[in-house]
Structure 1
């Protein structure tokens, strides 16, 4: 029987991780045909995915954070083949906050993460497809705007490396005195909203920015976007809510948030606004985001909170 053939694509920042190196060695000792590639610059992930497909890899594993996962997923999504004809997708969480992995209940250690991929059949999941400035982008987790996006964008890389997810909280606390609402219009099927928001989440996954649970009920396989809008507030309530957003306290957000589930949403603003798409800031005055159902197949835990349906074995 031919051994499974996997391709592991590692974010260059994690290439020297000893635990990951030992996990790769352990899986090879068990008979897995596992090749490793390391990304250093733009375009590497796309090239490695194409190479893996040409080489007949059965699974492509992203080792990194939400951005690495989305980069690999985006490359798979951009292929002409249907999801069933593409390699499956796995994740070894190696990022600063690992928001998708945390919400999905994935193991945080490299060896258990690789073992899960070997043990659990792949499950079709949705992806976000964002159009802005005439360009299409894909993401696996969440698009966010407003206060949380500024926290993520403004958190220094050195602080992220030193403090992990706590870095986002500290940056958020430092911003509490200068939360400025974003004026925008949102519309989707049977939905319209207009006003100033301090936080916006459009989720396939549930959290972003180091634990901001903006879309606490999102599912990765329901064919819908979970949209959360936190409106502009004033005075002491606004300061309290700023702390809530930075710490991701879902219960308090429920009191003020507008939440809907949509197959697509359009956003228009008079002034350019920034959406953070799994770590990639995108600036525009107009966005369209669609949920593309079942675009890739991913290995998730058996009891994954993000999954609504049991996996189907290949």
Structure 2
């Protein structure tokens, strides 16, 4: 019999996963899975639980919670000789990865995506000794993700980041940075860099509009030295996906990236602190098999045919 393990954050989404766990287990049992659940208790617990699921060779692991829970589960699976299929039940604040995969934000509809059985191998990012599903980055502006109060993020979403960015900008100094991209080197004073795996980042669904989750490439966005007027122009353009041609922005794609700042710069991994730079970023193409809606599979096929 096939085995499934649900790794869930019991506090996520107003405890909706916790309240619905019996029904989720039942739906999986009905399609032939011997199913069990693990409730996370602290930061990093989901990674440990995922590693155990890998060791026990579960056929399916389900990450239920926000992007942080999904990130931890991926960190327990990535680059292991055996990697189970991975399902997603979103219950976070922004749910960037679920949005990128067109997974419904309704819990039981997300379970239906898993029970329908459609899957696709998707890229995962590696940053030094960590892994990411949405984005890695650096620069003082990326650090605002730590400072935006969770209640504000819940109430006004991406606008919270925009407000915080404007508030911080006068005190932010650009950092001279060397960025090596495959066979190209960029050396500039920058406000931030973003290495995007998916097209949905921090609630901005058009920040990396050309990103594909199975092509082996990252979308790289670099914001050069900017004043307040430049930042407002770029941020406003980003809301509609029109920022990539802005004079203050460098946009490119790459599989392998090295970032070396000449001053202190923190690394941001899927919206959380990821240590200090320098850093090396690798795209692990089609590395993990995710349960996804048929709609997403059709969209990816169409995108690949038109490239």
Call closer, same or farther: CA 1:234–1:55 in 2, change over 3 Å.
closer
1:72 aligns with 73
Q: How does 1:1-314 map to 2 (within 5 A)?
A: 2=1, 4-14=2-12, 17-18=15-16, 21-22=19-20, 24-25=22-23, 28=26, 31-32=30-31, 33-81=34-82, 86-131=83-128, 136-146=129-139, 148-161=141-154, 163-211=156-204, 213-234=206-227, 236-244=229-237, 248-256=239-247, 257-304=249-296, 308-309=300-301
Shift of 1:271: 0.8
**Does structure 1 conserve the Cα–Cα contact (< 8 Å) formed by 2:123 and 2:288?**
yes
2:13–2:91 contact (8 Å) kept in structure 1: no
Shift of 1:72: 0.7
Q: Against the structure 1 CA distance between its residues 251 and 124, is the aligned structure 2 distance closer, same or farther, given a 3 Å change threshold?
A: same
Q: Deviations 1:36-58 (Å, cap 9, x if unpaired)? A: 21111244223322333455532
2:122–2:285 CA contact under 8 A, matched in 1: yes
**Distance (Å, rounded) in 2 between the aligned partners of 1:129 and 1:26:** 31
What count of residue pairs does the alignment treat as equivalent? 298
By how many angstroms is 1:7 displaced?
1.2
The CA deviation at 1:174 is: 3.0
Bigger mean CA deviation after superposition, 40-49 or 185-194: 40-49
- The Cα of 1:164 is off from its aligned counterpart by 4.7
Post-superposition CA distance 1:105-163 (Å, at most 9, x none): 111111111110111422111111111xxxx0111111123365122121123433555
> Distance between the aligned counterparts of 2:55 and 2:14, measured in 1?
27
Q: 8 Å contact 2:162–2:235 — kept in the other structure?
A: no
Decide whether the 8 Å contact of 1:6 with 1:35 is kept in 2. Answer: yes
Deviation at 1:27, TM superposition (A): 5.2
Contact 1:264–1:288 at 8 Å: present in 2 too?
A: yes
Give the conservation status (yes or no) of the 8 Å contact 1:155–1:168.
yes
Distance 1:16 1:301, change over 3 A: same
Partners of 2:138 and 2:130 lie apart in 1 by: 16
Shift of 1:214: 3.2
Q: Is residue 261–residue 278 contact of structure 2 (8 Å, CA) maintained in 1?
A: yes
The two structures have a TM-score, normalised by structure 1, of 0.83
SS at match of 1:303: helix
SS in 1 for 2:50: helix
Cα distance in 1 for partners of 2:264, 2:147 equals 17
Q: Which segments of 5 or more consecutive residues in structure 2 lack a partner in the other structure?
A: 303-307
Is the contact made by 1:271 and 1:285 (CA closer than 8 Å) also made in structure 2?
no
Aligned partners of 1:77 and 1:296 also within 8 Å: yes
